[in-house]
Structure 1
Amino acid sequence: MPRADQRRWGETYIRGLLLGNGRRSVRSIAEGADVPDAVQSLQQFVNQSPWDWAPVRRRTARYVDEHMTTHAWLIRPIYIPKRGGQTAGVARRYVPRTGRTLNCQYGLGLFLSDAETSAPVDWRLVLPSPAGTGARSWLPGRREVGPSEQSEWCHVLAMADDVAAAVPVRPLVVGLRHVTGVERLLQGLRQRGLPFVVEVNDSMPVLRQLAPSSLPGGARPGLTQIRSLVQETTARRQPVMWRQLHDAALHRSYVTTVPVRLPGTVAGSGGGADCLLVAVWSAAATSAANFWLTGLPESQVGHVLTLAQLAARRERDVDTLSEGYGLLDFEGRSSRGWHHHMTLVSAAYAFAQLGTCSQQQEQRAG
């Protein structure tokens, strides 16, 4: 931050996030930082002060990457319940975790992840569509959407670009099963040369990348829903051994792998979206439960499963951020205030988590 007063209030806000109790309102943040008379100043700092959050996030990303062994970048959704409709980004949206439609903000976070910890370093607020229905699902034949419509794929690429400017590139794991514009997302990741593992819905149509003579039952090489494609190729289901990053024990999963291409892309072109479909079967191996598209080769399927497993712990990390650092507690209405708050939550969380790790390492070394 360029000004001394901004740095002072930034430190005060973070101190309040770390030391406050219960819900992190501005008042409780002020009390946690032992400046109970500074509520108005903190409100002005987080809601109206014009400081740029992007340099703070880049510095946070570098700090995190210096203090942990980053294995992947994770994209995670965050739903923030809100009352009324005057807050930036609020709309009625279906929240998968609750199984209900809620009045809420919908954001995306990019986390740097190692074997034990993940820390958020960038955020985007997804604004509602013009129809007011929130983020839209991918539909075959839907027209392309631009940045002005706040599409998810644009946000994901923008976050990847920002973080890549600050830290060394790692595989990007996108745990958004219904991400809008997935074909544009994968094309953009290919153009950037970023390794990726992207969760997709089983109803998504893809093109087989197989010779016609090898297609089962005389099937044509046209658009096929992922679920149908996997059922057609069940003979290729195979066990794969893999490890969780924090667990030395081997795990076995049954997978089906199929080379595919997304509709609307050109095979073999520099910006094409040829990729590998990895379908992970249930424990009983009776049905495929999860579907991932990746740019990694088939020889690295075990690594794909390791990366995909990182996405499964997203709820734990979001719970920790919500309960201990005030992730869901921002009281303002502006998108500027939201970005300021989320930036400071990220800094507080990284400091607390990595400080604990550093202390443990020092104790073991001692």
Structure 2
Amino acid sequence: MRQGAAMRDLGDDRRHESGTGDGGPLTAAEAAVLRGLLASLPLNGQRLKAERYVRGLLSVRGRKTLRSVAAQFDGASAQQSVHHFISASPWDWTPVRHDLARHAQRALAAQAWVIGTTLIPKTGPHSVGADPQQTPLGTVNGQCTVGAWLASERAAVPVDWQLRLSARWTADPLRSRASVPEDAAADTVETCVRRAVAGLAEIRGLPRLPVVVDVPEAGGMPLVRILAAAGRPFAVRVSPSLPVRIDRWELPTYGDLLRTAGDLAESLPHLRQQVNPGDGSTTVAAVPVVASPRRREPMTLLGEWCPERRAFPRLWLTGRDPSGVAAALRLTRLTAVVERDLVEVSDRVGVRDFGGRSFPGWHRHITLASVAHLMAVSARGHRGAVTRDRSPAQERDYRPVI
């Protein structure tokens, strides 16, 4: 996320001053799509409330809080029913997310799943899951989330969400106040990422898309093995400190001692090459590596240097894809599409705006906000692919530090 955008996210209503820009009435075709996305809700009254809630997320100016969205419903009792529908009604958000995934895949012709973290700043400690979060720009109070997005070169749509809970949120009295399920345990970001990856297999009717995981601190070998075992092409961003070994089947003159990924990429300049993945030439080292000398699981460590960046390269672990380095790099570019649409679309339909204390309420709100995101992307229509800004300012300043 660009620094200016990240700083705006810390304000209260500043990013919402102009409304969503998508608040016009839905066309008949769009209304039919919306009804289809909500068809899994078992009761007609639930479907009507959900549809009106999504319309509110698309049209209400300012922050899309429960109160502001409920205000479009006539009468105090109707407004109270909206609070109950989001925070306390027993409807399951998972089928809605699965229908959203299937429709988003058709609408976007998605090329991959992109999994990454999103920080939702909060002004106080009472919103469910809110805790002090460490970021590159200091400590920020807020919620740490992991999102699974379907992405193409033109647009991205969030489909599934995990909310990381610290130990204080999984113990009473906060657990009971927030209606956190009994079987929920304190999470790390890594366990949230693994849960997000596991959830992809539960969505029926989708092609087996590649998975891009842009969470360096959680991108260890266990996650890579999970993706490889599932038979999915993958690109997992890794920390420079991740230990790896050179694949001596490919480079027999090198030892098989453990080296850090950053050191390995830096120490083999003769493996660097110029590659153009479609957005300009970049310098890349493609190093054949294995996870263990006893289990040959061939992978490629990609280190990418940008001319403006003098620090460590961006590091990714991928499979040995016969389509080559350029194809793998094109997958990694989808993270920029997610970052753009998080700011340009998700924030404008209220993805970060739920301020309640209810854990189920958070999931229901963010599910319907994700539906609103798809509707807004569809209304936006076709637009050009994202051009990568190679300046350091593009890095996500408020990605949580794990």
TMscore range, shorter length: 0.7 to 0.9
Mapped to 1, the partners of 2:339 and 2:160 lie a distance apart of 17
Is 1:200 paired with 2:228?
A: no
Mapped to 1, the partners of 2:272 and 2:130 lie a distance apart of 43
Mapped to 1, the partners of 2:267 and 2:382 lie a distance apart of 50
Task: Tell me if structure 2 keeps the 8 A contact 1:260–1:274.
Answer: yes
Mapped to 1, the partners of 2:194 and 2:211 lie a distance apart of 15
1:4 positional shift: 1.1
| Corresponding residue for residue 295 of structure 2 | 267
Task: Tell me if structure 2 keeps the 8 A contact 1:58–1:166.
Answer: no
Is 1:320 paired with 2:344?
A: yes
Mapped to 2, the partners of 1:358 and 1:231 lie a distance apart of 40
| Corresponding residue for residue 13 of structure 2 | none
Count of residues paired in the alignment: 326
1:320 positional shift: 2.3
1:277 positional shift: 0.4
1:114 to 152, 160, 163: 152
1:213 positional shift: 4.4
Is 1:345 paired with 2:369?
A: yes
Matches within 5 A, 1:30-41: 30-31=70-71, 33=72, 35=74, 37=76, 38-41=78-81
**Secondary structure of the residue that 2:94 maps to in structure 1?**
helix
1:82 positional shift: 2.2
Mapped to 2, the partners of 1:285 and 1:106 lie a distance apart of 27
* Change in 2 beyond 3 A, CA 1:266/1:50: farther
**Secondary structure of the residue that 1:89 maps to in structure 2?**
coil
Task: Tell me if structure 2 keeps the 8 A contact 1:74–1:173.
Answer: yes
Superposed CA offset, 1:4-36 (max 9, x none): 1111110111011011001111222134x4546
Is 1:176 paired with 2:215?
A: yes
Task: Tell me if structure 1 keeps the 8 A contact 2:154–2:382.
Answer: no
1:350 positional shift: 0.5
Superposed CA offset, 1:56-75 (max 9, x none): 00111111112221111111
Is 1:74 paired with 2:74?
A: no
TM-score scaled by length of structure 2: 0.75
Greater mean deviation of Cα atoms: 78-87 or 48-57: 78-87
Letter in 2 for 1:82: K
1:124 positional shift: 1.0
Task: Tell me if structure 2 keeps the 8 A contact 1:197–1:304.
Answer: yes
Is 1:50 paired with 2:79?
A: no
1:335 to 340, 359, 367: 359
2:319 to 274, 295, 305: 295
1:170 positional shift: 1.3
Mapped to 1, the partners of 2:310 and 2:88 lie a distance apart of 55
Superposed CA offset, 1:215-256 (max 9, x none): 1xxxx3111011211122111111112214xxxxxx211110
1:353 positional shift: 1.0
Mapped to 2, the partners of 1:16 and 1:47 lie a distance apart of 17
Mapped to 2, the partners of 1:343 and 1:119 lie a distance apart of 11
Task: Tell me if structure 2 keeps the 8 A contact 1:110–1:159.
Answer: no
Greater mean deviation of Cα atoms: 337-346 or 68-77: 68-77
Q: Return the structure number with greater strand share.
A: 1
Mapped to 2, the partners of 1:17 and 1:177 lie a distance apart of 32
Mapped to 1, the partners of 2:241 and 2:75 lie a distance apart of 53
| Corresponding residue for residue 229 of structure 1 | 264
Mapped to 2, the partners of 1:36 and 1:65 lie a distance apart of 38
User: Percent of counterpart pairs with the same letter?
Assistant: 32
1:156 positional shift: 2.8
| Corresponding residue for residue 354 of structure 1 | 378
Mapped to 2, the partners of 1:183 and 1:201 lie a distance apart of 11
**Secondary structure of the residue that 1:255 maps to in structure 2?**
strand
| Corresponding residue for residue 135 of structure 1 | none
User: What is the RMSD computed on CA atoms of the aligned residues?
Assistant: 2.6
Mapped to 1, the partners of 2:73 and 2:125 lie a distance apart of 33
Superposed CA offset, 1:243-292 (max 9, x none): 14xxxxxx2111101111235x8523xxxx53110000121686652000
Letter in 1 for 2:156: S
Q: 1 or 2 for the larger relative contact order (CA 8 Å, sep ≥6)?
A: 2
* Change in 2 beyond 3 A, CA 1:284/1:11: closer
| Corresponding residue for residue 103 of structure 1 | 141
| Corresponding residue for residue 255 of structure 1 | 284
| Corresponding residue for residue 142 of structure 1 | none
1:188 positional shift: 0.8
Is 1:239 paired with 2:277?
A: no
Letter in 2 for 1:343: T
Mapped to 2, the partners of 1:17 and 1:186 lie a distance apart of 37
Mapped to 2, the partners of 1:185 and 1:312 lie a distance apart of 22
